């Protein structure tokens, strides 16, 4: 896998009703950014999501990430939308990147009161093929 990467995918449910009923000031303090301007809050709370997930709080660890929101019908038990984020990230070494950051978030992130991780997957992505070669060549050679 030298030169390749790993993709971690998480299906994360959000209790949207609870989030929507939360005052904007508290939403902003949960994430750590102003909702309209997107700017980092001047008095960033210690448990804010962007602070705890930042490389400064994780030994320099970074991710190439993207969240895709999903709505998957209505939850029968609660009558609320079954909605959330399909979180996807790439990295060289999940042990030193996703897992490290996720441990930190699981322990302290303010966002935890609104979310639960309900699905998880990891994919090995071999490096691109060179001229005359093929994808995955290094694994078989």
**Looking at 10-18, 22-30, 75-83, 129-137, which segment touches ligand HEM (CB under 6 A)?**
10-18
Assess contact for 85 and 23: CB atoms under 8 A: no
Where do the DSSP E strands lie in the chain?
5-14, 64-74, 81-91, 115-125
CA dihedral 10→123→90→134, nearest 10 degrees, is: -160
Smallest gap from residue 125 Cβ to ligand HEM (A) = 18
Q: Does 102 bind ligand HEM (CB under 6 A)?
A: yes
Distance CA(37)–CA(56), nearest Å, equals 23
| Given 16, 54, 90, 92, the residue binding ligand HEM (CB under 6 A) | 54
Smallest gap from residue 114 Cβ to ligand HEM (A) = 8
> Encoding tokens for residue 81?
């939308």
Q: Does 14 bind ligand HEM (CB under 6 A)?
A: yes
Q: Does 87 bind ligand HEM (CB under 6 A)?
A: yes
Q: Does 48 bind ligand HEM (CB under 6 A)?
A: no
């Amino acid at each position: 896998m030298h030169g390749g990467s790993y993709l971690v995918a998480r299906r994360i449910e959000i209790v949207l009703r609870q989030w929507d009923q939360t005052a904007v000031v508290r939403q902003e303090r949960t994430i750590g950014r102003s909702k309209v301007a997107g700017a980092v809050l001047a008095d960033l709370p210690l448990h804010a999501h962007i602070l705890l997930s930042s490389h400064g709080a994780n030994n320099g660890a970074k991710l190439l990430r993207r969240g895709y929101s999903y709505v998957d019908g209505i939850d029968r038990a609660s009558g609320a939308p079954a909605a959330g984020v399909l979180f996807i990230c790439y990295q060289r070494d999940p042990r030193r990147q996703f897992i490290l950051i996720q441990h930190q978030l699981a322990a302290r992130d303010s966002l935890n009161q609104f979310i639960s991780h309900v699905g998880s997957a990891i994919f090995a992505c071999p490096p691109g093929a060179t001229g005359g070669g093929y994808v995955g060549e290094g694994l078989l050679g």
